[in-house]
Amino acid sequence: MTTAEVFVSVRKFDGHLHWHHPMVRLGEDEYGVWLGARIGTVYSKGGVGPVYTTEEPRVMLFPRDAWWTALFLAAPARLDVYCDVTTPSEWPNPAEVTMVDLDLDVCRIRATSVVFVDDEDEFARHQVQYGYPPDVVAQATAAAEWLTAALRDGAEPFRRQYRTWLDMLD
């Protein structure tokens, strides 16, 4: 990897590798660190290896000290925003970012702007399977509620700000 490349490493609560893929550092603003993935970026899952290759440009926001990350997808993707509820992102070095996926996802459909929470069943199942502590459950639930309101209200960076970063990939 070059110094501009960043390896995104998402794990599950028990420590096993979940999604992982390379991205390019685009910059930082008041919302956090922005990374980009051009068409053709390979996403892998766990030890399975490559799962899919992106068909659209996308940018990902890693906010500071927040219990979520946000993925913004260009057309023709069905969703324009896909937020993962996670532990706060950690940067072991400038070329790697890691966090724990806590299952809940908050998404917005491009065509209708409908916002929905996904994988609530997985979140409930993993609370038992992985033994999520009460404070982790509370933080995850609060993050999902905040994200749902922010996406529905069109709050930044979910309204226009992300487009500035997506435009850098064109």
Task: For the chain, give the longest Cα–Cα distance.
Answer: 44
Q: Strand, coil or helix: what is 45?
A: strand
Name the phi and psi angles at 122, rounded to 5. -65, -40
79-85 mean pLDDT: 98
112-153 confidence digits (pLDDT tens)? 999 999 999 999 999 999 999 999 999 999 999 999 999 999
